[in-house]
């Protein structure tokens, strides 16, 4: 219940100071200047008033109920002040000051003490070490915050732990003429959490989109669970920073080496349906479109321009953002030929010329709006001194008001001179940008969101033919013996239990046995050195392929016996499978989250190629299909030059079966099947590793 926080009726400030350059003083000023609809109570043992508002010696002296108490006092005094708040029946405390867990163990102890006391009194804590909240709703006007921006009411709500970044986003929206609805920056977030705030914003009717900034996720699985539900209702635009820290630790196997730590956050965003950004300016610029524009039905853009070059830049940027610029219908061309100047260039981009007036722009926009094959409109508008730019702006606003398809506008002007034109566009809620590329990226983000909305992820399929018990037993036995890796026989046993097809194999102890096994399997065969101490076999001469007869098998075994002096050395004799495509499927446990499941181009060059894609388990059928389709080399897996493509159904099944295995059998830290040899109607695993 965060209503007390975002819609307080009475706010007190413990540590309200008469000194102007003090947080306790600024919060009172902000509440007053912003026109807070509730009561403000400065608490100060010495002052009789602060900024003209009657002050009280103690929170206990305040005559009415108090929803929110700011504490702008040293950390050391906070626990006692929380006790007082408890006696007063305060619902929520905003701890603005620092000196808590962010400073080290001593501060962390105070923070914990505060939490314990707050819990006893049923008080929620916001912060510590935080800015606070803002609610611009005309009925509330709560500025429980010490930041500097003065937002207009709007439809975007912002949440971030970092006050600095939250302010930056906030100010950027203000500069673009986009208001803010709710704003929350909760610092150390020892109690009220990011997911809780996102959920609250999700339920706030007047919040149209949510902007989120994080540096990491504390409780990733709860975040995913909560935020996913919100994202299903309204757009969440998020940025994660702190990306340069290399999470890759020394790789014990391929999957581990490739899966960087930060990838988990990206995958959580993806699974939750969050629109993710890597650049704060892009995030803010996209936010401005979400504030006013409908979501497009597709990726096809109509470009209207009254200047040449910027349309070229815009076209490049739109296409780079995954959008398309379709040709116009004959009917549309005819209408435009009859309405625009004869010199206008009729096409897409549509150049209406710098001399175009409002009516020409209007005809261009109306035509694009009527075109079935166009989903959104991009406008380049240079304010030529020889035309009535205000009437052009009014036409754009008029069309924007219809909300049929999204419109964005790259406005090229001197804002100091063309003030009225700028004002008309801003007041008319037309998202305007200073650069064609920025406008194009913002539109691309909106289209990307449209795709997220339309995607069908479905539920993970549970294969009923698996033998969970056998897989569990194999793993428990290895764990019982204190082993961290499984032998080839154990690994193949698990693959078998999960109906992941493997090439026929036997284990042999010596050359004689090897030859017998080879004869059973049928030539040609492969011989591999099998030992817990040999990780990448082929690098060390531990793989001999295409052996045609017994003599070759004996020779390979003898050679490997000499090369490796491992105690546990055995030989894997395997059916030789020539001519298929090599792929990799793997999984890696992610603390508190489940597993990352990987698919990619496999073989011994997997690290060099780095053509892999990850998803968070459990992987649904739709997600497995998407994985299959999203490699750089996916075209090579399809039909090429008269050859049929690989067995897509077989591959996506292996991905889903691996996902099911790691999800339902506890203890698998990391696994990879590399390679799986894929043919047009079959797939076979020929090498796999599992670590616990």
Q: Provide the minimum distance between the beta carbon of 259 and ligand ADP in the complex, in angstroms, as a whole number.
A: 18
**Structure tokens, 141:** 């006007």
> Would you call 272 exposed, middle or buried from its count of C-beta atoms within 10 A (0-12, 13-18, 19+)?
buried
CA distances from 426 to 167, 436, 661 (A): 21, 17, 54
Q: Kindly state whether residue 556 participates in binding ligand ADP, applying the rule CB under 6 A.
A: no
What is the rounded distance in angstroms from the CA atom of residue 76 to the CA atom of residue 63? 27
Q: Provide the minimum distance between the beta carbon of 212 and ligand ADP in the complex, in angstroms, as a whole number.
A: 41
Size of the site for ligand ADP (CB under 6 A): 21
Site for Mg ion in 657-686 (CB under 5 A): 674
Residue from 502, 510, 423, 507 nearest 674 by CA: 502
Q: Provide the minimum distance between the beta carbon of 603 and ligand ADP in the complex, in angstroms, as a whole number.
A: 4
> Would you call 22 exposed, middle or buried from its count of C-beta atoms within 10 A (0-12, 13-18, 19+)?
middle
User: Please, which residue, 446 or 686, has the CB nearer to ligand ADP?
Assistant: 686
The DSSP element (H or E) to which 649 belongs, if any, is helix 648-664
Q: Kindly state whether residue 196 participates in binding ligand ADP, applying the rule CB under 6 A.
A: no
Q: Which does 543 bind (CB under 5 to 8 A by kind): Mg ion, ligand ADP, none?
A: ligand ADP
Quick note: the x/- pattern for ligand ADP over 585-624, rule CB under 6 A, is ------------------xx--------------------
Interface region with ligand ADP, contact rule CB under 6 A, candidates 15-23, 537-545, 639-647, 657-665: 537-545
Interface region with ligand ADP, contact rule CB under 6 A, candidates 59-67, 407-415, 574-582, 614-622: 574-582
CB 235 within 8 A of CB 202: no
User: Please, which residue, 67 or 687, has the CB nearer to ligand ADP?
Assistant: 687
Q: Kindly state whether residue 574 participates in binding Mg ion, applying the rule CB under 5 A.
A: no
**Structure tokens, 347:** 């096409």
**Structure tokens, 687:** 């090498």
Q: Which does 577 bind (CB under 5 to 8 A by kind): Mg ion, ligand ADP, none?
A: ligand ADP
The binder of ligand ADP chosen from 119, 401, 536, 682 (CB under 6 A):
536
The binder of Mg ion chosen from 125, 620, 687, 691 (CB under 5 A):
687
What is the rounded distance in angstroms from the CA atom of residue 322 to the CA atom of residue 333? 25
Site for ligand ADP in 507-526 (CB under 6 A): 526
What is the rounded distance in angstroms from the CA atom of residue 92 to the CA atom of residue 75? 17
Q: Where are the alpha helices (DSSP H) in 210-344?
A: 220-231, 254-258, 263-272, 280-292, 308-320, 330-339
Q: Kindly state whether residue 528 participates in binding ligand ADP, applying the rule CB under 6 A.
A: yes
Q: Kindly state whether residue 332 participates in binding ligand ADP, applying the rule CB under 6 A.
A: no
Q: Kindly state whether residue 545 participates in binding ligand ADP, applying the rule CB under 6 A.
A: yes
Q: Kindly state whether residue 574 participates in binding ligand ADP, applying the rule CB under 6 A.
A: yes
CA distances from 28 to 23, 52, 74, 468, 678 (A): 9, 10, 18, 62, 69
What's phi and psi for 106, nearest 5 deg? -65, -45
Interface region with ligand ADP, contact rule CB under 6 A, candidates 205-213, 415-423, 478-486, 535-543: 535-543
Site for ligand ADP in 448-507 (CB under 6 A): 503
User: Please, which residue, 96 or 674, has the CB nearer to Mg ion?
Assistant: 674
Size of the site for Mg ion (CB under 5 A): 2
Q: Provide the minimum distance between the beta carbon of 558 and Mg ion in the complex, in angstroms, as a whole number.
A: 23
> Would you call 562 exposed, middle or buried from its count of C-beta atoms within 10 A (0-12, 13-18, 19+)?
exposed
The binder of ligand ADP chosen from 192, 344, 474, 577 (CB under 6 A):
577
Q: Which residue has the tokens 């964005």?
A: 408
What is the rounded distance in angstroms from the CA atom of residue 495 to the CA atom of residue 336? 64
Q: Kindly state whether residue 575 participates in binding Mg ion, applying the rule CB under 5 A.
A: no
How many other C-beta atoms lie within 10 A of the C-beta of residue 644?
11
Q: Which residues bind Mg ion (CB under 5 A)?
A: 674, 687
Q: Which residues bind ligand ADP (CB under 6 A)?
A: 503, 526, 528, 536-539, 543, 545, 574-578, 582, 603-604, 674-675, 686-687
């Amino acid at each position: 219940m965060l209503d007390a926080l975002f819609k307080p009726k009475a706010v007190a400030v413990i540590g309200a100071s008469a000194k102007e350059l003090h947080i306790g003083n600024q919060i009172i000023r902000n509440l007053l200047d912003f026109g807070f609809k509730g009561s403000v109570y400065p608490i100060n043992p010495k002052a009789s008033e602060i900024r003209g508002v009657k002050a009280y010696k103690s929170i206990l002296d305040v005559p009415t109920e108090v929803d929110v108490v700011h504490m702008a006092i040293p950390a050391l005094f906070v626990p006692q002040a929380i006790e007082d708040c408890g006696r007063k029946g305060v619902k929520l405390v905003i701890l603005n000051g620092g000196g808590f867990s962010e400073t080290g163990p001593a501060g962390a102890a105070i923070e914990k003490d505060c939490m314990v006391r707050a819990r006893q009194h049923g008080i929620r804590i916001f912060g510590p070490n935080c800015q606070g909240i803002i609610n611009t709703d005309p009925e509330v006007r709560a500025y429980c915050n010490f930041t500097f921006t003065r937002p207009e009411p709007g439809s975007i709500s912002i949440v971030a732990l970092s006050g600095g970044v939250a302010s930056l986003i906030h100010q950027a929206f203000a500069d673009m003429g986009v208001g803010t609805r709710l704003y929350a920056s909760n610092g150390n977030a020892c109690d009220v959490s990011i997911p809780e705030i996102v959920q609250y914003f999700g339920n706030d009717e007047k919040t149209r989109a949510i902007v989120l900034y994080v540096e990491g996720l504390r409780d990733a699985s709860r975040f995913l669970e909560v935020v996913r539900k919100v994202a299903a209702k309204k757009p969440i635009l998020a940025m994660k920073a702190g990306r340069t820290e290399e999470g890759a630790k020394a790789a014990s196997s391929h999957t581990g080496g490739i899966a960087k730590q930060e990838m988990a956050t990206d995958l959580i965003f993806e699974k939750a349906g969050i629109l993710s950004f890597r650049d704060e300016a892009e995030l803010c610029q996209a936010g401005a479109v979400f504030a006013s524009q409908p979501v497009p039905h597709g990726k096809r853009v109509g470009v209207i321009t009254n200047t040449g070059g910027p349309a070229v830049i815009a076209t490049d940027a739109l296409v780079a953002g995954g959008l398309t610029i379709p040709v116009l219908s004959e009917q549309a061309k005819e209408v435009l030929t009859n309405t625009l100047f004869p010199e206008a260039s009729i096409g897409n981009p549509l150049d209406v010329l710098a001399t175009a007036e409002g009516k020409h722009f209007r005809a261009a926009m109306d035509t694009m709006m009527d075109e079935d094959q166009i989903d959104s409109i991009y406008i380049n508008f240079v304010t030529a001194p020889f035309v009535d730019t205000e009437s052009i702006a009014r036409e754009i606003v008029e069309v924007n008001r219809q909300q049929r398809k999204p419109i964005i506008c790259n406005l090229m002007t001197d804002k100091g001179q063309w003030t009225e034109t700028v004002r008309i566009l801003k007041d008319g809620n037309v998202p305007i940008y200073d650069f064609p590329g920025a406008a194009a990226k913002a539109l691309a983000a909106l289209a990307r969101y449209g795709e997220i909305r339309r995607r069908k992820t479905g539920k993970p399929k549970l294969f009923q033919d698996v033998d969970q018990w056998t897989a569990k037993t194999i793993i428990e036995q290895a764990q019982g013996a204190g082993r961290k890796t499984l032998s080839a026989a154990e690994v193949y046993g698990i693959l078998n239990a999960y109906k992941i097809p493997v090439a026929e194999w036997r284990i042999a102890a010596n050359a004689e046995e090897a030859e017998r096994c080879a004869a059973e399997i049928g030539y040609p065969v492969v011989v591999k050195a099998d030992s817990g101490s040999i990780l990448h076999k082929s690098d060390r001469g531990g793989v001999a392929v295409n052996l045609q007869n017994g003599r070759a098998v004996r020779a390979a075994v003898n050679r490997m016996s000499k090369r490796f002096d491992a105690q546990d050395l055995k030989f894997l004799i395997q059916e030789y499978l020539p001519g298929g495509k090599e792929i990799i499927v793997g999984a890696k446990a992610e603390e508190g989250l489940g597993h990352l499941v990987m698919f990619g181009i496999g073989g011994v060059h997997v690290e060099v190629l780095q053509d892999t894609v990850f998803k968070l388990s459990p992987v649904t059928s739709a997600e497995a299909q998407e994985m299959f389709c999203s490699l750089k080399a996916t075209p090579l897996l399809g039909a090429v030059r008269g050859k049929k493509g690989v067995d897509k159904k077989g591959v996506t099944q292996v991905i889903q079966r691996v996902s099911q295995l790691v999800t339902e059998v506890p203890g698998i830290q990391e696994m990879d099947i590399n390679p799986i040899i894929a043919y047009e109607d079959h797939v076979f695993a020929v090498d796999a590793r599992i670590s616990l």
